[in-house]
Chains A and B, each alone.
Chain A
Amino acid sequence: MQTLSLDYPAGTPAARRALAGVVGSGDLEVLLEPGESGRTTVAIATSVDGVDDIWKAVIDRIFSEDGLPALKVEINDFGATPAVVRLRIAQAMEQTNPEASHA
């Protein structure tokens, strides 16, 4: 198991919290909570060691975008591929949107 912490500038805190995915083979769990204003933090625990660079590239690409709300992100990963990581984060972010219906 390996852990990683990443940090990004962000806007105002997200409207609500959200969860997507499970810690199953090739999948991951993403927990989103409103962050401290102006800052998004991402804490990752992954079962796969030695792929920090890939994680940083994938997460950078998502949270470097302008105008995103401030989030406290926790990721529990069980060997998900970058595509699945992006999908789960997008799924959770959609649920933090107050206009989205409760899934």
Chain B
Amino acid sequence: MRDVAALLQRQSFVELPARARCQHLLDDAGQRELLGPFERLTSPWLPKQNIVTQSDDGVVIMRGTLGDTKVVVAAVEPAFQGGSMGEVGGAKIAGALTCALADVKAGDPVVPILLLETGGVRLQEANCGLAAIAEIHDMIVALREHGPVIGVITGPVGCFGGMSIAAGLCSALLVTREARLGLNGPQVIEQEAGVDEFDSRDRPMIWSLLGGEQRVATGLAEDLVDDDVAAIRDLLAERVTAAPKTLARTTDIARFEALLETVDPAEQATAETTRAMFDQTTGAA
């Protein structure tokens, strides 16, 4: 049985807004926000569509240390516009990663940590958001040549769309049981493929296929962690100093091509069959 007192005392990460998430992960001394809310870098597109903006465009960038390691944390605010990536918020993350790359190249290593709670591109900003997401992908690939780039998905939103590709590109990915990761969200799959294929109201089925536990079981994420600020912080402190465990997933194309060969689209996928498929063809634990 789990220790009830410890359960009651622990602080939820999922319930924290983006700024508090950054503040809790970084060491207290020397943490500072870049392009904070009072800079008022807001979306130029939302007011034109009669939508209220947020003063940081739903993205918080904070630099500081985690133990002995310099880090930059980029957090998407889950509550603002479904954690969507707009032009400004996307550019803030891309810019933070560009600065990190410049520092790394100048011999001053800084490890990026991305807190990805996002439904993907903000539809109201369309191509401007997509361009920013592409820049983020580019920077992650460049940065992981030099050291770890760590993605964290805790929920409640999950990580979908173009930003799920960003999560896939990270050299290490931490997830909770509440987290979900997928290129398309459940409602999009149902709309495109029909309710027989994917019932977006069937929550146990959704989490069994897209949830954090399944993603770790199939090797698409590295670590399963409890929704606990201290546990997430401790695990991240280890990961920022560790060399990546495996070859970055996205460079291992042959392995995943072999996996795709074995998929029979006529058969309904379940958590068990998917795990078996990954075990056989990719040797995922």
Contact = CB atoms under 8 A, between A and B. Distances in A.
Interface of A: 1, 17, 19, 22-25, 27, 29, 31, 33, 45-47, 74, 76-78
Interface in B178-203: none
Contacts of B258: none
B24 to A, nearest CB: 12
Given A1-B47, A17-B38, A31 B79 contact: no
Q: Mostly helix, strand, loop or mixed at chain B's interface? A: loop
Q: Mostly helix, strand, loop or mixed at chain A's interface? A: strand
A72 to B, nearest CB: 11
A31 B52 contact: no
Interface string B45-61: 00100111111001000
Contacts of B80: 22-24
A1 B55 contact: no
B109 interface: no
A33 B40 CA distance: 13
B175 to A, nearest CB: 22
Interface residues of B, number: 17
Contact of A23 (B47, B50, B79): B79
Nearest to A27: B79
A22 B55 CA distance: 9
A22 B53 contact: no
Contacts of A45: 52-53
Interface in B47-89: 47, 50-55, 58, 77-81
A50 B50 CA distance: 14
